[in-house]
Amino acid sequence: MTLNNDDRDSLVSRLRDLADEELLGVLQRVFADRTLLGTEVPIVESHFFLGNATRLYENTPDGGQAWEPWEIHAIAYPDLSAYDADPDWFGFDYGFSEWAICSTCGIELRCNVKYGICPVCSTKAYLA
């Protein structure tokens, strides 16, 4: 399926209007079966996930200021089973303020709820 420019602009506008937690819920469904082209072979595994890159502008020891290196976080999916929630629940509108490191794959996670699922390896995580 190919979108024309008007349909694409309309889709982008609607996605931009979503709250962060609802955007995550939509993209989780979109990314569920999406892989990189060429990774269909049995020796390669890939999938898409939502991430965030953050860096701080900090004071340096010499009295100047500089950007710190980028920190990359995967946005964890809310663990619906921990909240006895239906599939249309997107979590709380707290921003992605909860943080953890996945115990299986080691990626840093952010989420809008305390109980999440790593989008890289599907390990359940407790975020604080």
Residue 52 tokens read as: 């965030």
Determine the Cα–Cα distance for residues 60 and 64; give it in Å rounded to an integer.
5
Q: How many whole angstroms separate alpha carbon 76 and alpha carbon 92?
A: 13
Q: What pLDDT was estimated at residue 48?
A: 93
- Can you tell me which residue has the tokens 């008007």? 6
**pLDDT (0 to 100) of residue 120:** 95
Reading the chain (128 residues) residue by residue, the pLDDT tens digits are: 889 999 999 999 999 999 999 999 999 999 988 888 877 778 888 889 999 999 999 999 999 999 999 999 999 999 999 998 887 788 888 889 999 999 999 999 999 999 999 999 999 999 99
Cα 73 to Cα 50: distance, rounded to the nearest angstrom = 9
8 Å CB contact between 128 and 98? yes
Given this model, what pLDDT does residue 35 score? 86
Q: Quote the domain boundaries for residue 70.
A: 5-126
For β-strands 98-101 and 71-75, DSSP reports them as unpaired
Q: Considering Cα of 12, then 70, then 54, then 65, what sign does the dihedral take?
A: negative
Domain count, the chain: 1
pLDDT score, position 21: 92
